[in-house]
Amino acid sequence: MESFVGSKRVKGVSVKGVASFHDDATGSKRGTNSIYSFSLDGVQFCHLGDLGHELSSAAVEEIGKVDVLFVPVGGYFTIGPETATRVCEQLKPKIIIPMHYRMPELASMFGQLKRVDDFLEGKSSIERIKEPFLSVEEGKLPKEPRILVLFLK
């Protein structure tokens, strides 16, 4: 999907693109980034893409309600564990899915990235899903935030 800011219908789904940056220097190092927010079957999803900074209050307001958040946690190219934690606190999702972190089989290519466990440290309500997918239903969202780590092998 081509990067965009604003509202657009993509294959019948209304998607909102929110402007952000790929770094913490207003894009001067790595350029811009789009955050995507969309609803499926009553569940509000938000994919932060390659976010490189904490969100402004205006961005949080523009994104709106978030049930399921895909958040980069690996650092180096995106936000790291500490900033990712603050962004999760800003958006208050019910389900947090970490992404863009170092995996053992890719360590030679992306060894500078932090591990997912660096993000998980000190947090509770963590579940490692053994499949590379999950099912989310509007009426079955957790009351308290839950972190789901997808198994990708």
Amino acid 2: pLDDT: 63
Q: Given CA atoms 112, 82, 6, 37 in this order, what sign does their dihedral have?
A: positive
Amino acid 4: pLDDT: 83
Topology (CATH level 3) of domain 6-150 = Metallo-beta-lactamase; Chain A (3.60.15)
Neighbours of 25 (CB within 10 A): 11
For the chain, 153 residues long, give each residue's pLDDT as a single digit of tens: 567 899 999 899 999 999 999 999 999 999 999 999 999 999 999 999 999 999 999 999 999 999 999 999 999 889 999 999 999 999 999 999 999 888 766 665 566 899 999 999 999 999 999 887 889 999 999 999 999 999 765
Amino acid 153: pLDDT: 56
Which tokens sit at 129? Answer: 């899903």
Amino acid 133: pLDDT: 82
Pairing of strands 68-72, 95-99: parallel
Amino acid 76: pLDDT: 87
Instruction: Please name the amino acid found at residue 100.
Output: H
Amino acid 96: pLDDT: 98
Domain residue ranges of the chain, discontinuous segments joined by +: 6-150
